Amino acid sequence: MLAWGNSIGVFSGTANPGLAVDIAKELGKPLGDLEVTRFPDNEIFVKYKENIRGADVFIIQPTCSPPNETLMELLILIDAARRASAARITAVIPFYGYARQDRKDQPRVPITAKLVANLITTSGASRILAVDLHSQQIQGFFDIPVDHLNVAPVLIPYLRDKLGKEGVVVAPDSGSVKLAQSYSDMLNAGLAVVAKRRINALSVASSHLVGEVEGRICLLTDDLATTAGTITAAATLLKKEGAKKVYAAVTHCLLGDIGRERLMSSAIDELIVTNTVPVGNDCGGRIKIFNIAGLLAEAIKRIHEGSSVSSLFKIEK
């Protein structure tokens, strides 16, 4: 077993350097010296500027926007570490891009989430550390070990205070029921489900509600938000049905201009997110950001030491 100390190397790509710095602080170890540059034609060049031969290397790089750039950078970082004779390479991917393309739901379409898993494995990764994958089945796309964290231990104390004893956790669509059920159990709250009909890639309509929300404080849960169509449409329906307040908890905040505009004009009182990806402005105080650096740092430490990671999921009642 490798000893804690110089045998571990923690490096950051360019996708979310702020999170990587915070992780390194939590570990009490500086980030490794790494050069990431672009050639004049925008090809990516990386160089480890310290010896990593025989080291346990952790590369922190969410494959967020722009996903093609951040993914390619991750692959090159892994390949460079493998060629520098690192003993083990763990790709720390707080957000796994292309995760929504995880099944063949139309004729003649790819399963891109599986393709990305193949690319990461082929590049030389030994292990994956991911956070709130869009679907559990993605873990099975890898032929290497996957440690799958969820952010509930970070969010639950805050959410418990917000919901109090009259809270209801609401799934904004059928695909989010399992996640909503888990939050409902952890918060000892009620459960409701909204039926969603997708109009196009940017718009959805929420039509039916199963559950009682009148006079209650509601918490919408989802793994990610990009255009915010699903959660804002659900929030409108909840307020129409008499909800006192509506909060939304989303792990990955990928909001673009459309999503931010929708949030600002929506019935959502507060959007609670994490910093798996850079979040930017808080939309006039409508976004509450939680730092998951401590959670990831503890997972990295346990992986390095060969101890249990699953115990991180325990929630204090």
pLDDT in tens, 165-174: 889 999 998 8
Taking only the tens place, the pLDDT of each residue in 68-77 is: 999 999 999 9
Q: How far apart are CA 262 and CA 240, in angstroms?
A: 17
Could you read off the pLDDT of 172-211 as tens digits, one per residue? 988 899 999 999 999 999 999 998 665 555 555 556 899 9
Q: Does pLDDT of 60 surpass 80?
A: yes
CA dist., res. 217 & res. 202, Å (int): 27
b/e 144-178 (16+ beta carbons within 10 angstroms → b) = eebbbbbbbbbbbeebbebbeeebbbbbbbeebbe
pLDDT, tens only, 4-25: 455 999 999 999 999 999 999 9
Structure tokens at 204: 């959805």
Q: Which of 196, 244, 301, 317 is catalytic?
A: 196
Tokens of 226: 């990009």
Q: Which pLDDT belongs to residue 84?
A: 97
Instruction: Give Cα separations from 255 to 87, 157, 171, 216, 260 (angstroms).
Output: 38, 25, 19, 27, 6
How far, CA to CA in Å, does 110 sit from each of 71, 105, 154, 207? 17, 9, 35, 30
For residue 198, the model assigns a pLDDT of 59
Mean pLDDT of 148-169: 95
Cα(67)–Cα(98) distance, integer angstroms:
8
| 196 catalytic residue (yes or no) | yes
**Bigger pLDDT: 105 or 84?**
84
Instruction: State the pLDDT at residue 219.
Output: 98
Distance separating alpha carbons of residues 312 and 303, to the nearest angstrom: 12
In sequence order, the 6+-apart residues with CB closer than 8 A to the CB of 36 are 13, 14, 44, 45, 46, 73, 77
Work out the end-to-end distance of the chain between its first and last CA atoms, rounded to an integer number of angstroms: 34
The CATH code for residues 152-290 is: 3.40.50.2020
pLDDT at 63 over 80: yes
pLDDT of residue 3: 44
- Say which CATH topology domain 8-150+293-313 has: Rossmann fold (3.40.50)
Q: CA-CA distance, 26 to 310, in Å (whole number)? A: 19
Mean pLDDT of the chain: 93
Least Cα distance to 211 among 183, 191, 229 occurs for: 191
Query: Which pLDDT value is given to residue 175?
Result: 85
Name the pLDDT band for 317 (thresholds 50, 70, 90). Answer: low
Mean pLDDT value across residues 214-241: 95
Contact 19, 3 (CB under 8 A): no
Selection from 235, 264, 251, 99 nearest residue 171 by Cα? 235
- For residue 317 the two structure tokens come to 């009642």
Distance CA 173, CA 195 (A): 5
Instruction: Tally DSSP H helices, then E strands, for the chain.
Output: 8, 14
Q: Where are the alpha helices (DSSP H) in 64-172?
A: 67-83, 112-123, 152-163
Q: For the chain, give every domain's residue range.
A: 8-150+293-313, 152-290
Domains 8-150+293-313 and 152-290 share a fold: yes
